[in-house]
A and B are shown apart, each in its own frame.
Chain A
Amino acid sequence: MPPNLNPGKRAGDMLQRKMRHVFHTLLLLCAPAAMAAPFEMQFDDVNGQPVGGVVVALRSVDAGRPLARPVHAVMDQISLQFAPHVLVIPVGTPVSFPNTDSVAHQVYSFSPAKRFELELYRGKPYQPVVFDKPGIVTLGCNIHDRMRAYVYVVEAQYYARADHEGRWSVPDVEPGEYTLTIWHPLSRTQAPVLQQRVTIKAEGTQLTLRAPAQMNLRTESKLPANWDVY
């Protein structure tokens, strides 16, 4: 399993997961039962080994269908690390950047999908930053170069980070045709590692997906983030 890919353990992920659960529950309450079908998937590499921590999005091919609505997300800074390491949010989501550490941080991104800078700070002095364009945003801290995190801003009806076994399940997908996109946070390119059409049937759908080729992944060392200040 690649390092730093522990989606379930990060506070921000937990919050995101809880909020999505509430959102899904509300959807279930509102929608007729026949409209929702379970979807389960498993992502493996080209050799059939499970790949954990991938980012998954399901977007309806029906352009008229509304996209997932923005949520409120949190990217914390704990023990000189961003938490979570990878955040998946729908377009338009405001993300707050509290600094739980006792030392000051200076968060920035120069990714085209979102350029911003939060001047040196502690605590929670800033308004949330709204991620208003789809794309992959690399976050850094100008004081601690080893701090790095990724925000996936998606335009989709359903989205998530798969668990550490590469599994993702949604109980209530509206049946229909979708484009399924999978990114790997350690991929050396911003391109998805897989993109394909899938049909979600009314009785539910289970898929095992395999990467079409060997993924070209970075190795991320587990060095403490306060190293390499010289």
Chain B
Amino acid sequence: MKRSACSLAAVLLACATAARADVEASLDLRLVSSDGRDGYMDGGLGKLRYDGDDDGLQLGRARVAWRGGIGGNWHADVDVSAWSLHDHNGVGITEGFLEWRPVPASAWRSNLKIGAFYPPISLEHRTSGWTNPYTIDSSALNTWVGEELRTIGVGYQLDHLGIADGGRLDWGVNAAVFGWNDPAGVIVAWRGFSLNDRQTPLFGRIGTYAFGGRTQRVLFSEIDNRPGYYASGYVKSDGGLELRALHYDNRADPSVYKSSISDYAWHTRFDTAGARWDGQHGTALIVQWLDGTTRATPYEQYTWDFSTWFVLAAQNFGKHRLAARYDRFSSEQDTEYLAGPGGHDEGHALTLGWTWDVREHVQIAAEWLRIDSTYNVRTMLGETPHAIEHSVQLALRLSL
């Protein structure tokens, strides 16, 4: 699988550099102060990317991306990032795809993507590299999207660009068929939700609670040879309001086990919807909700229900932007089939963010984050179930 990822990257890179490609490069350096429990990257059940041992200077992200026309209406896109000097994945591809994007001859526009890319869920991630311009760490909902979901397959979008045609609405529908997303669900089940900004690279790994000595989980793998799908739609008004909804089902067969990654296929289904409003004076309001279920192994007791929502408000003041977000999340083992209590993770979080566009190519961002969560499985690590974790981060972001 790694080999195919590398070949895909090589092809995309070759395409992108051969054409008149646009190159983006950025570096995000952090000063971190945290009182978090042992973090999920180190096999703990803390909710923060940086735990209490990570205070000081950290690499937030180093990123290079290429995008370019490769002839006709085809474009190539590849996004490569390193997340930490200590990360198991070192350097990885977060997205890489070919896109057919003809210029619209009428208000109808088609768009086809082949490769690996994000499903259109997040209303927070508005900027290139699937970055969030409001806060350093993303909501629990979209953190999970970045950790466990990637469309590795084919996606088609049909837009009706009604506003450019003198109307009041743009709208569109989008559907995709994908593979290699069978482990999706394992993290939200075993670890629960988190709020962070690390995206799992393609065919990459993520740390999780070390049951049975497995310290890392492989996230993008085809286990049962059954493709999954999602279908979504959006509406945008010329007054700055956008609504989105999506239904996802990876159609995994939970009874199939893959020994090479020591995991079952996780059958994950969820619905998600959201609304975003941009005012003409730099105000933004975002609300998103997600509710789903995941199941692995032939036994029904390994079924989890998960649910999360957040609301975010942001205001621009010239080159400064302030944002506040409140998250709620829960992930609970379905007790219907259990003799005793199952895993139950529940919590809420408050995030305050500030970004300052110092000048072109330089941005400073700061964030205060407090997560209050209760997860009964923490007792197996000798910890108390209830944890209140804080982090304060200051980021210097340089870009080409």
Contact = CB atoms under 8 A, between A and B. Distances in A.
Interface of A: 2-3, 102-104, 106, 108, 110-111, 115, 117, 119-120, 122, 138, 140, 142, 148, 188-190, 218-223, 226-230
20 contacts: A102-B22, A104-B22, A106-B103, A108-B103, A111-B164, A117-B103, A122-B20, A138-B165, A138-B166, A142-B104, A188-B238, A189-B166, A218-B238, A219-B239, A219-B280, A221-B282, A223-B278, A229-B127, A230-B118, A230-B130
A230 B238 contact: no
B282 to A, nearest CB: 6
Contacts of B107: 110
A164 to B, nearest CB: 16
A108 B126 contact: no
Contacts of B316: 222
B354 to A, nearest CB: 17
B92 interface: no
B172 to A, nearest CB: 11
Max count, chain B CB within 10 A of own CB: residue among A102, A108, A117, A142 = A142
Contact of A110 (B105, B168, B240): B105
B: interface residue count bin? 20 to 34
Nearest to A186: B238
Contacts of B260: none
B168 A103 contact: no
Contact of A120 (B20, B122, B280): B20
Contact of B128 (A218, A221, A229): A229
Interface of B: 20, 22, 68-69, 101, 103-107, 118, 120, 122, 125-128, 130, 133, 161, 163-166, 168, 238-240, 278-280, 282, 316
Given A219-B240, A222-B282, A115 B105 contact: yes
Nearest to A139: B164
A230 B164 contact: no
Contact of B101 (A110, A119, A142, A189): A142
Given A104-B69, A230-B122, A220 B103 contact: no
A230 B166 CA distance: 24
Nearest to A102: B22
A138 B127 CA distance: 24
B103 to A, nearest CB: 4
A96 to B, nearest CB: 19
A93 to B, nearest CB: 21
Give 10 closest A-B pairs by Cβ, nearest first.
A221-B278, A120-B69, A219-B280, A218-B238, A108-B103, A103-B22, A117-B103, A227-B126, A138-B164, A142-B103
A117 B106 CA distance: 12
